A and B are shown apart, each in its own frame.
Chain A
């Protein structure tokens, strides 16, 4: 957001008065198709939300009337909240570890030079190029070979694994856009390497790191396939929903799904509004 304040772009607006010859359709094509795409993205979410109020009984397949009961007691179906808690726990631990490890790698790769840089990049890229089913299956083979007991531990390990690469890629891009002169300026102003990092580089990277952590949390929380291979008897929220889907998913699952969706929106919008407001306050001085 910083610096973007000035980038309010006149070009797009000025583009309008220029005399347009043919292809006027272009002006409408983007908003119409883009708008429809957003609709496409949101229709299933709307379904989830609406059916969270369904007075459904056991199977939530047809509309049977409005009720708030599901929202009032989302933990009613046995083990639902346990699975939900498991997912949150796994996502929090996996995100924390993956963000720390990933940030360190991103720094190491972006700011230092290595002899084995080519293979290091490959090592980051390959997990991204591996479908989840293969990641899950190979980790499971490993755990089976080693005789490791499947459960929360193996689930967390597998989630850290596929989050790291995303974190590295996201934060590296952030670091690459940082002006290296800022660190030099800090050194020039009597900050040792460590102080320069904690006083300048790290604060500037916080938004990037936070965004990477959010992404990592989202993909961990949303993961079904890898967990399905590696969680054993430990059940995550998506697994619960998948199993329940055979019989019809209870409306309480929709409640938790909708709540997470709304919570995510509230969180990000809250942060944005806060930053916007703080920016205005500073500008007013």
Chain B
């Protein structure tokens, strides 16, 4: 099969439903052949965005471009875009093979059944070609839905939570298969999910969406390492966010920020805002915890030490232990500590916290530090 993927571009897309903005002035560029994940909490407008790309819904404002063609005004059946629906939407009255051949027949592609069989073999369902969808398991139905879309060699393939109905184990297996099929066929995949692990493991590029807008786009690692908004910091993994004051913005090693008695350094390019009161964040696993006055063996000169902490809560989770530490000037911070040693520090213990300053990130002052928490 040839690589048929094309770029997809959304320019200023807005979708209003009666009295409600589902998608708000959204700009997006997905390069040809990439695996793009759209991640966000329920109701943030992911499905609506996909449906507009598919042509099942028309935007109120803005343009949609596939390759160099403006497809905003075309209908669903005129677009070389296919969707794998969350409910699969397999036609119950047609056999598996006829389901897969449906799109080819509509476009009068020669040898529709032959091509359909080949793609069914690709998803390892060749032997079930004559069955009805109702006679398949959930995972098999999912693969038929995928085959039915892929067989058309669309420029862009849209997947709306295609794995949502599967159990965890099958989900992991299908994630791997999907990724592999995408690399084989070279189609641009846009994958909607609200499972962050799925997005991070599968996609080349992840866009985090919230309330009809895109909060941040980037490769998975970058998004995790350097969130630009409190929503992304909290929605992707867990973050400690606390307020701090920029006391020196001109230093050679970036900004100097202060909270409580502690000062630390924050690289200028890792901060959204370079002066005044800002919000500083650090991931819980990037903090090392010691009893008061001790020092971790690997601590370097550029590490920051925060003194005066007191353990409030300890939760043992097997691989690691989660500590809830009350820190003067920063509030309550979470620390994930891998259980490398057997020592577990009990509640009430006086502790020091240590981190490498390169792991800090700075967000705009006044950000809601709870945004995106508990929303997944």
Contact = CB atoms under 8 A, between A and B. Distances in A.
Interface of A: 2-3, 5-6, 179, 181-182, 184-192, 195-196, 199-200, 203-204, 282-283, 285
Given A187-B55, A190-B152, A282-B132, A2 B85 contact: no
A42 to B, nearest CB: 34
A133 B116 CA distance: 59
A285 B103 contact: no
A269 B271 CA distance: 75
B77 A185 contact: no
Nearest to A204: B93
A2 B134 contact: yes
A182 B89 contact: yes
Contacts of A196: 77
Contacts of A190: 77-78, 103, 106-107, 152
B82 to A, nearest CB: 6
A283 B134 CA distance: 10
Nearest to B160: A181
Contacts of A199: 102
Nearest to A200: B91
Interface string B75-96: 1111001110101011111010
Contacts of B149: 188
A188 B130 CA distance: 23
A177 to B, nearest CB: 12
B106 A188 contact: no
Given A5-B134, A185-B91, 13 more contacts: A2-B93, A6-B134, A181-B85, A181-B87, A184-B54, A186-B102, A187-B75, A188-B103, A189-B77, A189-B103, A191-B77, A282-B131, A282-B132
29 contacts: A2-B92, A3-B92, A3-B134, A5-B134, A179-B87, A179-B89, A181-B85, A181-B87, A181-B89, A184-B54, A184-B56, A184-B76, A184-B83, A184-B85, A185-B83, A185-B90, A186-B91, A186-B102, A188-B81, A188-B82, A189-B82, A189-B103, A191-B77, A195-B106, A196-B77, A200-B93, A203-B93, A282-B132, A285-B131
Please classify the interface of chain A as helix (H, G, I), strand (E, B), loop, or mixed, using the class held by over half of its residues.
helix
The 8 closest A-B pairs by CB, nearest first: A189-B103, A181-B89, A187-B76, A185-B89, A190-B106, A285-B130, A190-B77, A188-B83
B361 to A, nearest CB: 40
B135 interface: yes
A160 B95 CA distance: 37
Nearest to B91: A200
B148 interface: yes
Contact of B135 (A182, A204, A282): A282
Contact of B130 (A181, A192, A282): A282
Nearest to A279: B132
Nearest to B93: A203
Which of A186, A196, A204, A283 has its CB near the most chain B CB atoms (within 10 A)? A186
Contacts of A186: 77, 91, 102
Interface of B: 54-56, 75-78, 81-83, 85, 87, 89-93, 95, 102-103, 106-107, 130-132, 134-135, 148-149, 152
B187 to A, nearest CB: 14
B77 A187 contact: yes
A179 B134 CA distance: 14
Contacts of B76: 184, 187-188
A182 B77 contact: no
Given A2-B92, A203-B93, A204-B92, A191 B131 contact: no
B77 A188 contact: yes
Nearest to A187: B76
A185 B85 contact: yes
Contacts of B93: 2, 200, 203-204
Contact of B132 (A2, A181, A184, A204): A2
A274 to B, nearest CB: 15
A179 B88 CA distance: 10
B83 A283 contact: no
B135 A5 contact: yes
Contacts of B135: 5, 282-283
A2 B278 CA distance: 60
Nearest to B132: A282
Contacts of A181: 85, 87, 89
A104 to B, nearest CB: 21
A2 B54 CA distance: 29
A195 B81 CA distance: 18
A283 B130 CA distance: 9
A190 B103 CA distance: 6
B129 to A, nearest CB: 9
B320 to A, nearest CB: 42
A187 B132 CA distance: 21
Contact of B56 (A2, A5, A188, A192): A188
A285 B58 CA distance: 42
B29 to A, nearest CB: 23
Contacts of B102: 186, 189, 191, 199
B332 to A, nearest CB: 45
Contact of A191 (B54, B56, B106): B106
Contacts of B130: 282, 285
Contacts of A185: 83, 85, 89-91
Which of A3, A182, A188, A191 has its CB near the most chain B CB atoms (within 10 A)? A188
Contacts of A282: 95, 130-132, 135
A163 to B, nearest CB: 26
Contacts of A5: 134-135
A143 to B, nearest CB: 44
A179 B102 CA distance: 18
Contacts of A203: 93
A253 B135 CA distance: 47
A185 B162 CA distance: 14
A184 B89 contact: yes
Contacts of B77: 186-192, 195-196
Contacts of A285: 130-131
